[in-house]
Amino acid sequence: MISRKKTRQVLVGGVPIGGDAPVAIQSMTSTYTYDVDATVGQIRRLAEAGCDIVRVAVPDKRDTDALPAILDQSPVPIVADVHFHFQRALEAIEAGVHKIRLNPGNIKDRKQVDRVIAACRERSIPIRVGVNEGSVVERKDKDLRTAQMGSLAADRRSTLIRLMVETLEDYMRIFDENDFHDVVLSAKSIDAGMVIDAYRAVSERFDLPLHLGVTHAGPPETGRIRSIAALGSLLSTGIGDTIRISYAADPIHEVEDAKELLCSLGLRNRVEPELIACPTCGRIEIDLIKLVAEVRLKLATIKTPVKVAVMGCVVNGPGEAEGADVAVFAGKGRGIIYVQGEQKRTVTEAEMLDALYEEAVAFAARVERGEAELSTARVNIAPPDPLPRKTDGSVPLAVVRER
């Protein structure tokens, strides 16, 4: 059980962040916000995939002009992403947005920042402020920049973390002077180790909720490793109240991977099937990769968190899939299907996909009717004993007729 750090709670629409609230999943649209239909369509897809909060970019007035229509149709709270133009923030607040992403350092007029904070305070709208390693080094004051660059040359990691914390402290003084405390913090980097160290330092310094993320993570193929390494490490030690896994790809993948991360750590309950499968090896006697891909697609129609196992052999598969609600263990050309440890039937390789799906659907229906319970403990699935092999090395599977 992960013991999470208690932080101040803020409300983003109806979604609480911090305190004892579950870790919230965020993503961001990749559409032009002024294209209302495209933006709403993507927001709905993200919400259906399990996203709790969606951020939209509002660089232009035509984007904030589109917000009322988007907000009317959105099934989840919306965050307006504001970087340089304080007027965009005021327009988004007026439109009824649920949270502002603000970079005070990019809005040079303090009075403008104060106006945004006042508008958010009046409407109880939280603000997220963040830093990353590319934005904390001084760019205008040459003497200060020279000093910082010297420190970076001597110890880059420690200096960057110190600068991140100091920058957030500068930002927070602005909010404190405005008596505004509904703030969420972030401290991102492209380096997973830096992300871990930076958020640990920020967590020690502030009691505000933290938005976790890795900046410029890249495509899903590499970005998910970078992101999970950092975010998983932080979440497992109780740090983090809301997360975004960001990719240079369709944002739906961000939500899918964030959900899997939280479920794997026990920080979120599954609401859809969980698929486990053995790795490929020389014992496999079926086209396991193809079968797993097909099973994954079929299971998407089931809305009950049934645990399904697809194992490529009958030697180690049964033991390794203990705890599965429905499982198939394959031999050469055939497979045995179990339901919570009970052997149900033997089918040909061509029948495996449909048979496994049928058993999963039937079991899910029993769970929904209250006639069965999802597995919460280990299920002892014993393989056929003994396991003689034919002259070609395959294991002959006895036929078990469907009941």
> What CATH number is given to the structural domain containing 191?
3.20.20.20
pLDDT > 90? residue 256: yes
Question: What is the identity of the amino acid at 368?
Answer: E
On whether both 257 and 284 belong to a single domain, the answer is: no
Q: Write out the DSSP string of 90-141.
A: HHHHHHT-SEEE--GGG---HHHHHHHHHHHHHHT--EEEEEETTTSS-SS-
Between the CA of residue 329 and those of 60, 282, 294, 341, 392, what are the distances in Å? 56, 15, 16, 12, 19
On whether both 62 and 152 belong to a single domain, the answer is: yes
Q: 300 lies in which domain range? A: 274-368
Task: Give the pTM.
Answer: 0.86
Tell me the sheet residues that pair with 310. Answer: 277, 328
pLDDT tens per residue across span 39-97: 999 999 999 999 999 999 999 999 999 999 999 999 999 999 998 888 999 999 999 99
On whether both 217 and 341 belong to a single domain, the answer is: no
User: What mean pLDDT value characterizes the chain?
Assistant: 88
On whether both 193 and 301 belong to a single domain, the answer is: no
Q: Please report whether residue 388 resides in a domain.
A: no
Our CA angle for 151, 153, 155, nearest 5°, is 65
On whether both 60 and 99 belong to a single domain, the answer is: yes
From the list 314, 308, 313, the residue with the least C-alpha distance to 286 is: 313
pLDDT tens per residue across span 165-223: 999 999 999 999 999 999 999 999 999 999 999 999 999 999 999 999 998 878 999 99
First-last CA distance in the chain: 40
Distance, in Å, from the CA atom of 120 to the CA atom of 89, rounded to the nearest integer, reads: 9
Instruction: To the nearest 10°, report the CA torsion of 358, 360, 361, 362.
Output: 80
* Domains contained in the chain, number: 2
Distance, in Å, from the CA atom of 110 to the CA atom of 104, rounded to the nearest integer, reads: 8
Output the pLDDT for position 156.
Answer: 86
Between the CA of residue 11 and those of 183, 288, 367, 376, what are the distances in Å? 10, 45, 34, 33
